[in-house]
Amino acid sequence: MKLHELMPEQLEKAANMLKAIAHPVRISILSFLEDGQRLTVTEIYERLNIEQSTTSHHLGILKDKGVLSSTRDGKNTYYYLKHEELSYIVDCISKCAC
């Protein structure tokens, strides 16, 4: 389906997803989750070298806007891209920023 064929509600959802992504920390999180990676909040905040609470906040935003999903395995929650196609956006951002 082409972007111009989307209904207004779908366009609103797409805009909200892009707004959620539009933050340096969240772009970094998405880059870690490319290629089907599944990471815990601990693995993510250690890679980012920021506080766990800050990482959880950003993960919550991404999950709330439909960018990420999570699954629980014992004590750990693993985060991953809800739609693998979102990795194209990260790739595009990377290419355009360089």
Task: Report phi then psi at 37, rounded to 5.
Answer: -60, 145
Is the pLDDT at 3 greater than 80, yes or no? no
Expressed as residue numbers, the domain containing 82 is 3-97
CATH of the domain at 33: 1.10.10.10
pLDDT digits (tens, 9 = 90+) for 10-64: 889 989 999 999 999 999 999 999 989 999 999 999 999 999 999 999 999 999 9
Query: What is the reported pTM?
Result: 0.89
User: Which spans in 1-98 are helix H?
Assistant: 8-21, 24-32, 41-48, 52-64, 86-97
Split into its structural domains, the chain has a count of 1
Please give the pLDDT value at position 19.
Answer: 95
% of the chain beyond a pLDDT of 70: 99
Please give the pLDDT value at position 32.
Answer: 95
